[in-house]
Structure 1
Amino acid sequence: MATVCAAPDAAHMPELDERAAVRRLHDRFGFGPRPGDLDRGFAATLDRLLTPAPVATPALTLDPPVLARGDKQAKKDANQRRAVEEKALTSWWLARMVATDTATERLTWFWHGHFATSEQKVRSPWHMLAQNEAFRRLGLDGFPALARAMVVDPALLLWLDGNDNRAGSPNENLAREYLELFTLGIGHYTEQDVREAARVLTGWTVRRDQAEAQFVAKRHDDQPKTVLGIIGYFTVQSFVDAVLARPESARFVVGRLWFRLVSATPPAADTVDRLVSAHAKDIRSVLRAIAAEPAFRDPATTLVKQPVEWALGLMRALGVRWDSLDDKAVKQLGNGLRGMGQLPFRPPSVGGWAAGGAWLTTAAGVARVKVAQLLAAKADLKSVTGADSVRELLSVDAWSDRTRDALSRVDKPEHLATVAACAPEYVVSR
């Protein structure tokens, strides 16, 4: 887990210089800078990152799943089609993340980890794409709209057993995770709230060949419920409104944004108050408020890059375009991400992916070297002649003596880029 020094008095807090602060904006609100990005000022960079993104790549079109029942060959064919579509979906999104120069895709990535949903169980790239597009469409706007959409999102319902939730036999999985992981956090609800919330959510079902969840009245418990101290005939939307009305909800959401984008150390109480005030407007305002906090410019506020963030940031720094990768290279990159423990649309659990030092394992290190070698071989490295030139290319503030010594022992540009990309100064967003 990445660590941060105890917050000093703001008046005496050291700050990153302007160029380093701009680099941090790109690391935290995007997928890393491209060459030339650090020449813009902090305010202009923040404005650009928070501008709604244009469509960077053609939209992906997937068909509804084929419902194959009984016929073994039909089921085999359906599974093969699903595997092909999942690979296409993953490549499509990775390409968008590399290409997009605003915070839109980074927030889409954040919400994918927050409302973590895995294709391994959903078994419908079609529904996973629809969820992904909802994150992109709503992710920078107000949280309530996203929270309302996700409670009846088909992929999330399939992932959290919504089809098993019916009157007389409620399944608590979605209700529990919605309160604990998505909106309130541990300690701000009771087990009775979970049971009653599960009753509220009865009746919402998903057909794999339909785009939206359906409300089936005969499966719904239509009796009064008591949720978070409120007694009433809840609809799914009035339930969400009751949850989000709790003061703990906004504090929980801004805390999760801080944890993933700034530091594993929780923000100070007055910082939380400012972020909650911004949260009342929209998520874009929260990001702007985060960037204005002194802790955001604190050199000690570091985060270990997640594998997807690291790999895509390296592609951007090296100028490697997605369309320059052939099928073999795309497969190798996917294998590398899997080897590092992170592949889009495959979070390990509803809790999402790990953070911090969990990514710094020996096995992940080996996979990281292979990916760095792959991307370095695809890059134009004529400008790389030594430690300083590769540092500038990767937008690293400075090398430690140990890293500089390691770089001095290699001379080929591809080897320099590989070693530099795997150095702590690049693997960790400083």
Structure 2
Amino acid sequence: MGEISERAAVRRLHDRFGFGPRPGALGVGFETTVARLFGTAAEGGVAPPALPALGVAAKGDKEAKKAANKSRARQELEVSSWWLERMVAGERATERMAWFWHGHFATSNQKVRSAQLMLAQNQVFRAQGRGSFTALARAMIVDAALIKWLDGNDNRKGSPNENLAREFLELFTLGIGHYAEVDVFEGARALTGWTVRRTSVKPVFRAKRHDGDPKTIFGKTGDFDAAGFADLALAKPESAAFVVGRIWFRLVSATPPPAATVERLVAAYGSGRDIQAVLTAIAADPAFRDSASAMVKQPVEWAVGLMRALGIRPSALDDKTRLKVLAGLKGMGQVPFRPPSVGGWPSGASWLTTSAGVARLQLAQLLAKQADLGQLEKSSARVDGVRVLLGVDAWTDRTRNALAGLTDPAQLIAVAACAPEYVVSG
């Protein structure tokens, strides 16, 4: 295992637990950076947009339906832009963990069709994403957006729908091979009764739809409800390793950590299922500094990191430009609130397709034109200047030679932002 330098380790902290360093951030020590990222003081930021409830168009009223769809699209744009703003502005790991949990409990507005429900779920990720996984899992199993996404409205006594119960076990808490089909069926029975109304962001428990008869889940029998089902899943010994493994996979490396690291992370997770303790343990573990733990940045992480480096705030962009930013992210294959499936987004080389590369360059050009590049224009060492600005450790000779031929600062930024040294977090 090769170990990266102290400066590279600080940059990796910003990449993995935030959305990239701001200019000057790499001059701060590792422990100080850890303390800043994992600080507990609440952050301010732009308040979430006010989203009025949308009316239900009468059947056959095409104009009303068209207007409602237009309003939904507008609200989703507002919420997506607001979240990008928070990602750019955030100084702690809170927003990065909200983004992680959005991919873990992956829910798409394509089916939910309610920016209000997606925003409410997002606020739970932000409030609880660094606390107890018990509390987060309990909140998610009765989350209105997740219920709609995984057909919880169709789950009732006498006719259980297994979708939410199955994904809760397979993707959210345990992983494949650690539950039986009977656990899925009985778990679905435990989840009966929860429904979502069009007029509220909060789910409603309807006792008449709940199956109150005894259920047997993981060999234990009782009148389990949603919280009881969640607790039974988390109590399985395989759950802790699964959860910390997913955090490692998305934040550190696609290569599983050494057994000794897993033991340390599970110990930090503990009986309280403390997410913050796991993050701190990851940063302190020797495996975190392994030079082989490179990761391709997801499109949203890449774009937000570039905006942070360039001092661009999404809230300052006009609607047309914000739409272009989201179109660029869509071209790369990733838009907030639109994961492709309940399994979340892909990782690694999946983001390095030719079409994604073209969209990445176009978005980089758009963002570079929004930035104040006065200092770079005056610099006589622009290639090194853009390296420092983007927080890149070093350029390869090939990249340096390619950048050296560019005279326009905006084009230099755009090409540099698409270089492997920036697209991949080493």
State the Cα distance separating 1:105 from its structure 2 match. Answer: 0.3
1:37 aligned onto 2:25: yes
Q: Tell me if the contact between 2:261 and 2:287 (Cα under 8 Å) persists in the aligned partners.
A: no
Counting only pairs closer than 5 Å after superposition, residues 24-63 of structure 1 correspond to structure 2 as 24-52=12-40, 53-63=42-52
Q: Secondary structure at the match of 1:383?
A: helix
Counterpart of 1:210 in structure 2 is 200
- In the aligned structure 2, how far is the partner of 1:322 from the partner of 1:90? 10
Counterpart of 2:410 in structure 1 is 414
Counterpart of 1:304 in structure 2 is 296
- In the aligned structure 1, how far is the partner of 2:123 from the partner of 2:403? 42
Q: Tell me if the contact between 1:200 and 1:225 (Cα under 8 Å) persists in the aligned partners.
A: yes
Q: Tell me if the contact between 1:142 and 1:279 (Cα under 8 Å) persists in the aligned partners.
A: no
- In the aligned structure 2, how far is the partner of 1:399 from the partner of 1:133? 39
RMSD: 1.2
1:249 aligned onto 2:239: yes
- In the aligned structure 1, how far is the partner of 2:27 from the partner of 2:97? 24
State the Cα distance separating 1:28 from its structure 2 match. Answer: 0.3
Amino acid in structure 2 at the alignment position of 1:408: A
Counting only pairs closer than 5 Å after superposition, residues 358-373 of structure 1 correspond to structure 2 as 358-373=350-365
- In the aligned structure 2, how far is the partner of 1:113 from the partner of 1:28? 15
Counterpart of 2:106 in structure 1 is 116
Range moving further from structure 2, 125-134 or 205-214: 205-214
Q: Which of the residues 334, 337, 361 maps onto 1:345?
A: 337
- In the aligned structure 2, how far is the partner of 1:283 from the partner of 1:113? 16
Q: Which of the residues 290, 308, 324 maps onto 1:316?
A: 308
Counterpart of 1:375 in structure 2 is 367
How many residue pairs were aligned?
Answer: 418
Counterpart of 2:280 in structure 1 is 288
1:335 aligned onto 2:327: yes
1:200 aligned onto 2:190: yes
1:389 aligned onto 2:364: no
- In the aligned structure 2, how far is the partner of 1:147 from the partner of 1:423? 38
State the Cα distance separating 1:17 from its structure 2 match. Answer: 1.7
Counterpart of 1:10 in structure 2 is none
Deviation by residue 1:140-199 (Cα, 9 ceiling, x = unmatched)? 001000000000000000000001111121111001000000010111001111111111
Counterpart of 1:160 in structure 2 is 150
- In the aligned structure 2, how far is the partner of 1:217 from the partner of 1:78? 32
Counterpart of 1:139 in structure 2 is 129
Amino acid in structure 1 at the alignment position of 2:22: R
- In the aligned structure 2, how far is the partner of 1:352 from the partner of 1:55? 28
Counterpart of 1:20 in structure 2 is 8
- In the aligned structure 2, how far is the partner of 1:233 from the partner of 1:195? 14
Counterpart of 2:168 in structure 1 is 178
State the Cα distance separating 1:401 from its structure 2 match. Answer: 1.5
Q: Tell me if the contact between 1:25 and 1:46 (Cα under 8 Å) persists in the aligned partners.
A: yes
Query: So what's the TM-score if we normalise by structure 2?
Result: 0.96
- In the aligned structure 2, how far is the partner of 1:326 from the partner of 1:206? 34
State the Cα distance separating 1:71 from its structure 2 match. Answer: 5.1
State the Cα distance separating 1:375 from its structure 2 match. Answer: 1.1
- In the aligned structure 1, how far is the partner of 2:347 from the partner of 2:221? 39
Query: So what's the TM-score if we normalise by structure 1?
Result: 0.95
Q: Tell me if the contact between 1:119 and 1:128 (Cα under 8 Å) persists in the aligned partners.
A: yes
- In the aligned structure 2, how far is the partner of 1:365 from the partner of 1:343? 16
Q: Secondary structure at the match of 2:45?
A: coil
Deviation by residue 1:334-390 (Cα, 9 ceiling, x = unmatched)? 110000000000000000000000000000000000111011111222333432111
Counterpart of 1:92 in structure 2 is 82
Q: Tell me if the contact between 1:67 and 1:209 (Cα under 8 Å) persists in the aligned partners.
A: no
Structure 1 residues 323 and 60, CA gap change in structure 2 (3 angstroms): closer
State the Cα distance separating 1:275 from its structure 2 match. Answer: 0.7
Amino acid in structure 1 at the alignment position of 2:281: A
1:79 aligned onto 2:42: no
Same amino acid, percent of matched pairs? 63
- In the aligned structure 1, how far is the partner of 2:196 from the partner of 2:82? 25
- In the aligned structure 1, how far is the partner of 2:201 from the partner of 2:403? 53
- In the aligned structure 2, how far is the partner of 1:68 from the partner of 1:203? 27
Q: Tell me if the contact between 1:65 and 1:126 (Cα under 8 Å) persists in the aligned partners.
A: no
State the Cα distance separating 1:75 from its structure 2 match. Answer: 2.6
Give unmatched runs, 5+ long, in structure 2. Answer: none
Range moving further from structure 2, 133-142 or 237-246: 237-246
Q: Tell me if the contact between 2:196 and 2:204 (Cα under 8 Å) persists in the aligned partners.
A: yes
Counting only pairs closer than 5 Å after superposition, residues 230-249 of structure 1 correspond to structure 2 as 230-249=220-239
Q: Which of the residues 242, 249, 254 maps onto 1:259?
A: 249
Give unmatched runs, 5+ long, in structure 1. Answer: 1-12
Range moving further from structure 2, 384-393 or 126-135: 384-393
- In the aligned structure 2, how far is the partner of 1:294 from the partner of 1:64? 50
Q: Secondary structure at the match of 2:118?
A: helix
State the Cα distance separating 1:14 from its structure 2 match. Answer: 2.7
